[in-house]
Amino acid sequence: MDSKHITITRFFEALSAFDTDAMAALLAKDATIKSAGAPAYHGCEAALRAISDLSRSHTAFVAEPSRCLYDGDAAVVEWTALVTDFGGGQNKLDGCAVFDFDGELVKSARFYWRPEDMHN
């Protein structure tokens, strides 16, 4: 398993655990996180707020990468997630993400899915 795949696996583990400390170790200082239907978070500290924001709106967001395709410092990742809201409602999301790397660190991650699936 190459270092980018390990980073992607750890990224999804940190995201699913709402673990900002683990995520901070994976992000470049100038990292950008962008999700469908939401504003971009620019800079590592702002990107970590994306996790905090997610944890305030959902009790669980269990995401797993299912397939990764690589090209140099970029990767396209297919993923699935089971999202649980505070009322106990659950939604399954299927999406993809485009990662750009600075060495082994995530420079940017752009997540795509149908935003309406998050709230069904």
Q: What is the pLDDT of residues 76-85, one digit of tens each?
A: 999 999 988 8
CATH code assigned to 3-119: 3.10.450.50
> Would you state the pLDDT for residue 1?
60
- Global pTM? 0.88
The predicted pLDDT at position 36 comes to: 82
d(CA 37, CA 31): 19
CB neighbour list of residue 3: distance below 8 Å, 6 or more residues apart? 104
User: According to DSSP H, which parts of 1-120 are helical?
Assistant: 3-16, 20-24, 44-57
Please report, to the nearest 10 degrees, the dihedral formed by the alpha carbons of residues 83, 113, 21, 56 taken in order.
Answer: -50
Please tell me the predicted confidence (pLDDT) of residue 115: 61
Q: What is the DSSP letter of 103?
A: T
Average pLDDT over residues 7-14: 96
Output the pLDDT for position 85: 85
pLDDT in tens, 13-67: 999 999 999 999 999 999 999 988 888 999 999 988 888 887 777 778 899 999 9
Token digits for 112? 């795509």
- Contact indicator for 43, 31 with CB cutoff of 8 Å: yes
Handedness of CA 27, 29, 32, 38 (dihedral sign): positive
112 band by pLDDT with thresholds 50, 70 and 90? very high
Q: Is the pLDDT of residue 120 over 60?
A: no
* pLDDT for residue 78: 96
